[in-house]
Amino acid sequence: MSNKSLGIIYGILGVVLFSSKAVMVKLAYEYQVETLDLLLFRMLFSLPFYLFILFLIRKKKPLVNITIKDYAWLFLFGFVGYYLASYFDFLGLNYIKAGLERIILFVYPTIVVFLSWLFFKQKITKVQAIAIMITYIGVVITFWSELDINGNGVLIGGFLVLLSAITYASYLVGSGWLIPKFGVLRFTSYAMVVSTCCIGVHYLISGNFGLWEYPAAVYGYGVAMAILATLIPSFLVSAAIERLGASNFSILGSLGPVSTILLAFVFLDEKLTYWQLFGMLVVIFGVTYLSIRRKKGAGA
């Protein structure tokens, strides 16, 4: 199997597993768990595995010399990509459905284009501009339908999830050149340790210190999120980015909204209107069109 094919398989599995997180969060919220507590459970339960992996690879030296500056960038991307993105996402899920969350979060490939233009001066082509316009039209269609049902509360949740998409896109843009330096295992483990430390500090500042007062089901969802929706997909996504690059990886994200909506239908009994379904298809078309055109352009 080619390296590229392996990257595609890793990417698909990673996207599908990551997409299950929103459903688990909504299930846990049924027990009135605090957002910060749930996020802390997710990271604390996965932390021992990342530390164990770092211990196993401690004697394996990176292929290139890693500088203090590289570690500083790693800390930044761990803070932005796994702490901020997760926190905004968990907060947003207090206000909107899991399926809608994934649709909004799905605009991150278009944000990657904007960030690449802003920081790396990569020109936004006509094709990219059209794809971005299509994508955001789809988000507005989906969003508008939800506003009619739930009122202004969905605006707060949608904005928080959009912030999550922006921070995750920043992580994708920045981590692409760091992963080859550190290696997939070391980079991902370090980034998750940084994220856990950030969440721990956040909890010490504003937590309610009632971590052990929840029903057993909450801890069960925490473990499931740690293993199935954090640990395993974090390595799969890093491995996919290493083999495909951030731009080519983004095409696989089209599976995210579909898998989340199906899981939410099965486990949360969430329903989608025809307008929401149409908006979702428009978003998927826009991002997939963008990713395919970028992929062709890269291969030209």
Model confidence pLDDT, tens digit, residues 35-94:
999 999 999 999 999 999 999 988 887 777 888 999 999 999 999 988 999 999 999 999
pLDDT of the residue at 290:
61
pTM, rounded to two decimals: 0.81
Q: Greater confidence, 110 or 9?
A: 9
**Average pLDDT of the residues in 227-240:** 88
Q: Look at the chain and report how many structural domains it folds into.
A: 1
Question: What angle in degrees, to the nearest 10, is found between the helix axes of 108-120 and 126-150?
Answer: 130
pLDDT of the residue at 62:
75
Model confidence pLDDT, tens digit, residues 155-171:
899 899 999 999 988 88
Q: Greater confidence, 225 or 128?
A: 225
pLDDT of the residue at 145:
63
pLDDT at 5 over 50: yes
Range of the domain at 213: 3-299
pLDDT band at 299 (very low <50, low <70, confident <90, very high): very low
Place of tokens 């394996």: 60
pLDDT at 3 over 90: no
pLDDT at 214 over 90: yes
Tell me the residue type at 87: Y
The overall longest dimension of the chain from CA atoms, in Å, is: 58
Q: What are phi and psi of 218, to 5 degrees?
A: -65, -45
